[in-house]
């Protein structure tokens, strides 16, 4: 039997370690997704009396290869498509299925808990015109759908209900994905962020850099102009974020450098 010299043994150990780290990060998810681009694996939509047109576009559809299609508010029939980068897609699935336990959110159980909590805390029922959030996931071997009426209001009324908070966090994460795609995709948003963060550091050097997750508002016009707003707000308990309140507005016009306005706590 040949004994490896120390350098050879170290090289072999490194190779084995690298192989172990190369395990597919999606393998640890509780649901596996098809890689084909034919069927969306994640859908989020909002249903309600004012959204009852059966032919209208879905709010957001994400396919197994990361391709994403979003509707444009106020422009029926217009959709924007984009691509979620592989690493970002992995983080999205981890956020939905592991961090916020979407597959454990169960509609009927949630509704029973909501009704009981509203009675106990004497919280008003939302109006019938409030939208119902619907999130569907389609895996290789199973599908899951969860829905909640007036989810944002319910989450603010009843912070003690874990499933409601988890589902609302999923909605917010998916709304951010839709905003990034409407804003021209991850490459455009990251390019805008680079310029925005340089200006932020000049005006509020204590503030942490913004990320695409903090894109909170997008307005896209037919002439190609875009308005993007990144914001770091106080949390639900009113606590200020680290470095204080930050809002950065970016106006993009075709063929011109972006106009950037920073509003931040400079103390």
- Domain match, 172 and 241 both: no
- Domain match, 123 and 210 both: no
More confident residue, 91 or 3: 91
Model confidence at 27: pLDDT above 80: no
> What average pLDDT score do residues 143-171 get?
97
- Domain match, 227 and 96 both: no
- Domain match, 169 and 191 both: no
> What average pLDDT score do residues 92-112 get?
96
Contacts of 111 (CB under 8 A, 6+ apart): 148
Q: Is 1 a member of any domain? A: no
Model confidence at 19: pLDDT above 50: no
Share of the chain above pLDDT 90, in %: 63
Tell me the pLDDT tens digit for each residue of 178-230: 999 999 999 999 999 999 999 999 988 888 899 999 999 999 888 889 999 99
Q: Is 24 a member of any domain? A: no
Q: Is 20 a member of any domain? A: no
- Domain match, 212 and 122 both: no
- Domain match, 147 and 242 both: no
Q: Where are the beta strands (DSSP E) in the chain?
A: 40-47, 60-63, 67-71, 79-83, 132-138, 143-149, 215-220, 226-232, 246-252, 259-264
- Domain match, 115 and 176 both: yes
More confident residue, 219 or 13: 219
| Number of structural domains the chain divides into | 2
Model confidence at 41: pLDDT above 90: yes
Q: Which domain holds residue 59?
A: 40-182
Question: Of 164, 182, 200, which residue constitutes the final position of a domain?
Answer: 182
CA 194 to CA 231: how far, in whole Å?
15
- Domain match, 114 and 203 both: no
pLDDT bin (cut points 50, 70, 90) of residue 5 is very low
- Domain match, 85 and 154 both: yes
- Domain match, 116 and 224 both: no
pLDDT bin (cut points 50, 70, 90) of residue 13 is very low
Tell me the pLDDT tens digit for each residue of 220-260: 888 889 999 999 876 655 566 665 789 999 999 988 888 99
* 130: DSSP letter: S
Question: Of 141, 161, 182, which residue constitutes the final position of a domain?
Answer: 182
Tokens of 218: 């997008």
- Domain match, 152 and 201 both: no
pLDDT score for 243: 59
Model confidence at 90: pLDDT above 90: yes
Q: Is 12 a member of any domain? A: no
Helix (H, G, I), strand (E, B) or coil at 260: strand
pLDDT score for 219: 92
Q: Where are the beta strands (DSSP E) in 75-173?
A: 79-83, 132-138, 143-149
Query: In this structure, what are the phi and psi dihedrals at residue 16, rounded to the nearest 5 degrees?
Result: -65, -40
Question: Of 182, 209, 224, which residue constitutes the final position of a domain?
Answer: 182
Chain centre distance of CA 198: 24
- Domain match, 92 and 222 both: no
CA 87 to CA 66: how far, in whole Å?
10
Q: Is 110 a member of any domain? A: yes
């Amino acid at each position: 039997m040949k004994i490896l010299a120390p350098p050879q043994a170290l090289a072999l150990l490194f190779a084995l370690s690298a192989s172990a780290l190369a395990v597919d990060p999606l393998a640890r998810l509780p649901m596996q997704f098809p890689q084909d681009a034919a069927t969306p694996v994640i859908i989020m939509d909002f249903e309600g009396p004012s959204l009852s047109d059966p032919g209208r576009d879905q709010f957001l559809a994400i396919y197994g290869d990361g391709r994403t299609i979003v509707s444009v508010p106020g422009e029926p029939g217009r959709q924007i498509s984009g691509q979620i980068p592989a690493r970002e897609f992995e983080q999205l699935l981890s956020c939905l299925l592991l961090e916020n336990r979407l597959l454990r959110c169960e509609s009927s159980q949630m509704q029973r808990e909501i009704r009981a909590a509203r009675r106990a805390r004497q919280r008003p029922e939302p109006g019938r015109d409030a939208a119902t959030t619907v999130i569907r996931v389609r895996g290789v071997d199973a599908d899951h759908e969860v829905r909640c009426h007036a989810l944002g209001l319910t989450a603010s009324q009843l912070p003690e209900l874990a499933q409601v908070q988890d589902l609302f966090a999923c909605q917010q994460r998916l709304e951010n994905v839709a905003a990034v795609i409407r804003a021209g995709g991850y490459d455009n948003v990251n390019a805008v962020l680079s310029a925005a963060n340089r200006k932020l550091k000049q005006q509020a050097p204590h503030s942490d850099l913004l990320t695409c997750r903090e894109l909170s508002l997008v307005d896209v016009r037919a002439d190609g102009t875009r308005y993007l707003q990144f914001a770091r707000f106080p949390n639900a308990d009113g606590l200020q974020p680290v470095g204080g309140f930050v809002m950065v507005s970016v106006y993009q016009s075709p063929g011109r450098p972006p106009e950037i306005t920073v509003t931040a706590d400079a103390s």
